[in-house]
Structure 1
Amino acid sequence: MGKRYLGGSGEALVGWITVATCTVLAFYGYDQGVFGGVIVGDDFLAQFGYPDSHTTATMTSIYNIGCFVGALSTMVTGDKLGRPRALMVGTVWITVGAIVQSCATTRAHMFAGRVVAGLGTGMNTSTAGIYQSETVKSQDRGKLVILQMANCIMGFALSNWMTLGLSYVRGSASWRFPLAFQLVFALVIFAVCPFLPESPRLLIRRGNKTEAMDVLVKLAGRDRSSDDPEIVATYESILAVVRTEQDNPTSWLDLVRGRGPPGMLRRVVLGAGMQAMNQLSGINVTSYYFSYILIHAVGTSEELSRYLAAAGAMDYLLFALMSWHTIERYGRRRVMMVSSAGVCACFVAISALLAMSETGDAQKLGIAAVAFFFLFFAFFGSGCLGVPWLYPTEINATQVRTKATAISTATNWAVNYMCVEITPVGIDRLSWRFWVIWAAISASFVPVTYLFYPETANRTLEDIDLFFAERPPVCVHRLAEATQIARPARYAEWEAERAARTEKGVAQSVWRAASSGSAKAAAHAEHAEC
């Protein structure tokens, strides 16, 4: 029977894993939006001495320093703690940080709370994507990670509407309550994670093969068993990769030097580069500071800026949900390129409109600029949002997936910090020219993705290991297997052959044991082969 988990087995069990990972991302999105909503409120500004643009930027961005350190910490603690336990440890940090922020009376208190909450968020965001990717079928992996990101935007939307509503409340409750509300997300994670299974891939790496097989069976569904050919094929594929990594262990020095599995350093760079693109698309310029941008760059009132920020969050959420249907159908490469091109076009238009507003009809041109900010959310949510979070969990080698994903997530937070730190000062000093920078950067993502990034949609994690084992060229745009959306036929054939060999081996072992007249020996032989 094995252990019992929340939801039992099959889709219900996968659903509860998704609840845990989506809650992590919902909190991340909530925190993105909530601070942008409170830093423009009168009571908050009075409490902290009406900080200038530089202090505001640092108070906001210091959170990302905590996230950076928290993400890097999972390189050491991630595999030791395991996926569910790592999420709970990260949530402890978030809980402490949320309490400190909501009770802050000085800038020092707020800085400390932001850093502590960031430590937990970095740990959790580095773990959630891996956990989801390692516990779902390859054809569902993209959709469920995209669902995580849609929940991120749901949290973002919730924070914008909450700060809008509480802006009409007098006193410190207008900003303390939204910051304290972070505890709700923590309670969900504490309630769910203790009752979820460990990643079967991590269990096999630890030598817990019986438990790993039990988890694979439960993830597959109630009507499945350990001798099911599909489950056996999955188990054997994972086991083959784990045996290879155990025969060729990879140290930290190997990771830095690029030694180890074929293409390891290249795969780490690809994952980290995709995460950098996520931030350099300009999303946290707008998500953290949308109300601030509307007030200081477009010239709206505080009240109108809050309404527009809340409406923009719903626009963002709508298109993030729509990417559920495109991420597998059109693949990671195509979705990322189209999204990046759209983001670039929006920033070009925003730059032009804000430049013209300095000498033209500021009100009408400002309205048009706001429309392009809304269109930016649509383009970003449809691709640049989800693909960079999904890609590192897929592209990296199994034996270094935790370390490599931690590096990728830390890269995201480091670039995030830079973007959030420079935005208020950039708006104040560069005016419309500030948006030209983001247009140029996002334009570069189209050729970079086209030339260097292989497709990962509809591949198992082991398929990707096989692809890099053949040492493909750096520029992959001319390789059919690297760019096609459908799973390459030979990978499916390889998996089927392995399953057939395994099934035949089990049958022969059981027959030999049964021939000796021992039913107990036959049962033992079957279990040993599996």
Structure 2
Amino acid sequence: MQKFYGLRGLKLNIAIAIIAGTDFALFGYDQGVMGSLLTLKSFLRYFPEIDTANPPPGKTTSETSNIQGITVGAYTLGCFFGAVATIWLGNILGRKRTIWTGSLIMVIGAILQTASYGLPQLIVGRWITGFGNGMNTSTVPTWQAETSKSHRRGQMVMIEGSMIVFGVMISYWIDLGFSFLEPSTIAWRFPIAFQIVLALLILALIPGLPESPRWLVLKNREDDALQVLCALSDLPPEDKKIQSEFQAVKDTVVEMQKGSFRDCFKMNENRNFHRTALAYVNQMFQQISGINIITYYAATIFEQNIGLSPFLSRLLAACNGTEYWIASWFAIFTIEKFGRRSLMIFGAAGMSMSMCVLAGTTSSQSEQMGIAAAVFLFVFNSFFAIGWLGMTWLYPAEITPLNIRAPANAISTTANWIFNFMVVMVTPPAFANIGYKTYIIFAVINATMVPSVYFFFPETAYRSLEEMDEIFHKTTTLFGEHGCVKIAKEMPHRYDKHGDLLIPYEETEEAQLYAARRRSSVAVAEARGNGVNGEKKDTVEYRE
């Protein structure tokens, strides 16, 4: 078989995006598939403990809502532990092998869920599936970012975000279609089992795609890294652009290859802790926006909170997922034009407004209020799709330095999953106890996200990953005149909007700094040698 399936340049980048997108479609499918099954009679026959509409004898609505939250949340809790494991496994296994292992674990978990006849087995299966997905979602954005060109990186990773919603949409429609097979258990077993198909596709195709060139350099496989860079750009090794990119990657890796998990918490020259914190908060913001109130519980909300029929609730959930997917494409074509910051601020403001309207329209039940509430579930999803859906899989990978990129992205992904778990866990009890006021809480949270992004999150559009290092090397405060937001706004770009080189790497301050350090290291080594031979020993000690 030809190297990288015989693909080069844009075709190879598209192939990577397809596999990365398939993985995120699998992620979205897992998130959405359970929502419409929670009210299915054939499903509740085997798992009556989570029936919040008709609690089993001796159980209250509050108790069953807690058990439902645990069952649904077991998946996100597994994702959390999978992300934690990747903190240590990510740089050991490499990007591709971590994704392959995570996909295999997901297949095992899906088989356990499909074969469930009791709640404990279902919960364990969801936890195992989540563990594999946590490994994947910690790694795929990094792999995608490290194999993409700076002018296409945002678009490629935003496609991943769109694929998450594509997976959600497919899960809703499959749930709706198989609901007609009631009372057969195929109505819920097939939708759960379908995720295995996506996982097997990843397992089959990812071995032939390129590894991250930055990870290869980190592992002293420079020839392989150069080969990957050439294939990704479809250029020969001697091309000036390839040599400039390779030297930039190599310099960064050589300087930072001693990084470790503990380095994520150091406020050193690279401002590791600052950048890890930005990645973590970015992921946290996505989840505490309240999106998974709708993703996991859309059909339940339509049926139990708005008062629609079971069929209409599942149909609207499927339509919601479809519109959600369509809206996600807006970000793909605007992420580079408007930048990361603008879309995040726009999305947060729109989500806050939508939550306010949802609180008002669900405070009392009527036909008109129900229609308005249903509409604004669609509106909320649209704002989220544009501003935050793919952003948190792009931004953390862009903002973190290479030596801690794998552990830092795994740490930030733990934020995604632990806050995802929190939202999924508290949603059933919150609706059971405070009703429409649940939306008010999320309206306030989204409103606070707007100034947070404006003051603290630097723009990364059209920046190479090495340029972000340079920006933070110049940063001395969290915000203001010497903050990363201002510096990122004013520092010249190395590449234009088409990916063409504007400033050769060797002409940058960063390259000159590394060159000076190399010369200094050589001088010190030579001086040490002189000291060993009994010459200039005092001078060596002084220089060191």
TM surpasses 0.5: yes
- Superposed, which structure 2 residues align to 1:118-517 within 5 Å? 118-170=130-182, 171-221=184-234, 224-246=235-257, 249-256=258-265, 258-355=266-363, 357-358=364-365, 362-476=366-480, 480-483=486-489, 487=493, 492-493=502-503, 495=505, 497=507
1:86–1:348 CA distance, 2 compared to 1 (3 A):
same
Deviation (angstroms), 1:17: 1.1
Read off the aligned partner of 2:208 and give its amino acid letter.
F
State the alpha-carbon separation in 2 of the partners of residues 197 and 368 from structure 1: 48
Read off the aligned partner of 2:244 and give its amino acid letter.
A
Cross-structure match for 2:24: 25
Q: Is contact 1:353–1:369 with CA below 8 Å preserved after alignment?
A: yes
Deviations along 1:130-149, one digit per CA (max 9) or x if unpaired, are 00000010010000000011
1:252–1:496 CA distance, 2 compared to 1 (3 A):
closer
State the alpha-carbon separation in 2 of the partners of residues 133 and 468 from structure 1: 19
1:432–1:149 CA distance, 2 compared to 1 (3 A):
same
State the alpha-carbon separation in 1 of the partners of residues 466 and 502 from structure 2: 11
Deviations along 1:478-521, one digit per CA (max 9) or x if unpaired, are 8544247983789943526379x99xx9xxxxxxxxxxxxxxxx
Read off the aligned partner of 1:390 and give its amino acid letter.
L
State the alpha-carbon separation in 2 of the partners of residues 42 and 486 from structure 1: 61
Cross-structure match for 1:71: 83
Deviations along 1:419-459, one digit per CA (max 9) or x if unpaired, are 00011111111111110000000111000000101001110
Cross-structure match for 2:526: none
State the alpha-carbon separation in 1 of the partners of residues 330 and 373 from structure 2: 24
- The 3-state SS of whatever aligns with 2:34 is helix
Q: Is contact 1:164–1:306 with CA below 8 Å preserved after alignment?
A: yes
Read off the aligned partner of 1:253 and give its amino acid letter.
R
- The 3-state SS of whatever aligns with 1:457 is coil
State the alpha-carbon separation in 2 of the partners of residues 328 and 137 from structure 1: 12
State the alpha-carbon separation in 1 of the partners of residues 32 and 19 from structure 2: 20
1:134–1:438 CA distance, 2 compared to 1 (3 A):
same
**Number of equivalent positions:** 492
1:182–1:483 CA distance, 2 compared to 1 (3 A):
same
Q: Is contact 1:457–1:486 with CA below 8 Å preserved after alignment?
A: no
Q: Is contact 2:494–2:504 with CA below 8 Å preserved after alignment?
A: no
Q: Is contact 2:35–2:300 with CA below 8 Å preserved after alignment?
A: yes
- The 3-state SS of whatever aligns with 2:71 is helix
Deviation (angstroms), 1:282: 0.7
Deviation (angstroms), 1:84: 1.3
1:498–1:225 CA distance, 2 compared to 1 (3 A):
farther
Read off the aligned partner of 1:313 and give its amino acid letter.
G
Q: Is contact 1:281–1:384 with CA below 8 Å preserved after alignment?
A: no
Which of 55, 62, 70 is matched with 2:74 structurally? 62
- The 3-state SS of whatever aligns with 2:28 is helix
Deviations along 1:390-410, one digit per CA (max 9) or x if unpaired, are 110000011000000000111
- TM-align CA RMSD: 2.1
Q: Is contact 2:260–2:403 with CA below 8 Å preserved after alignment?
A: no
Q: Is contact 1:330–1:485 with CA below 8 Å preserved after alignment?
A: no
Deviation (angstroms), 1:353: 1.3
- The 3-state SS of whatever aligns with 2:270 is coil
**Structure 1 gap segments, 5+ residues each:** 506-530
**Structure 2 gap segments, 5+ residues each:** 51-63, 516-544
- The 3-state SS of whatever aligns with 2:214 is helix
Q: Is contact 1:9–1:219 with CA below 8 Å preserved after alignment?
A: yes
Q: Is contact 2:145–2:153 with CA below 8 Å preserved after alignment?
A: yes
Q: Is contact 1:320–1:382 with CA below 8 Å preserved after alignment?
A: yes
Deviation (angstroms), 1:244: 1.1
Q: Is contact 1:163–1:178 with CA below 8 Å preserved after alignment?
A: yes
Q: TM-score, normalised by structure 2?
A: 0.87
**Higher alpha-carbon deviation: 57-66 or 467-476:** 467-476
Q: Is contact 2:87–2:261 with CA below 8 Å preserved after alignment?
A: no
Cross-structure match for 2:110: 98
Q: Is contact 2:76–2:418 with CA below 8 Å preserved after alignment?
A: yes
Q: TM-score, normalised by structure 1?
A: 0.89
Cross-structure match for 2:537: none
State the alpha-carbon separation in 1 of the partners of residues 69 and 330 from structure 2: 32
Q: Is contact 1:455–1:484 with CA below 8 Å preserved after alignment?
A: no
Deviation (angstroms), 1:203: 0.5
Cross-structure match for 1:526: none
Deviations along 1:465-489, one digit per CA (max 9) or x if unpaired, are 0000112421158854424798378
Q: Using the aligned pairs only, state the percent identity.
A: 34
State the alpha-carbon separation in 2 of the partners of residues 239 and 157 from structure 1: 42
State the alpha-carbon separation in 1 of the partners of residues 281 and 492 from structure 2: 24
Cross-structure match for 1:513: none
1:302–1:50 CA distance, 2 compared to 1 (3 A):
farther
Q: Is contact 1:453–1:476 with CA below 8 Å preserved after alignment?
A: no
State the alpha-carbon separation in 2 of the partners of residues 293 and 408 from structure 1: 30
Cross-structure match for 2:93: 81
State the alpha-carbon separation in 2 of the partners of residues 156 and 181 from structure 1: 13
- The 3-state SS of whatever aligns with 2:180 is coil
- The 3-state SS of whatever aligns with 2:475 is coil
Cross-structure match for 1:48: 47
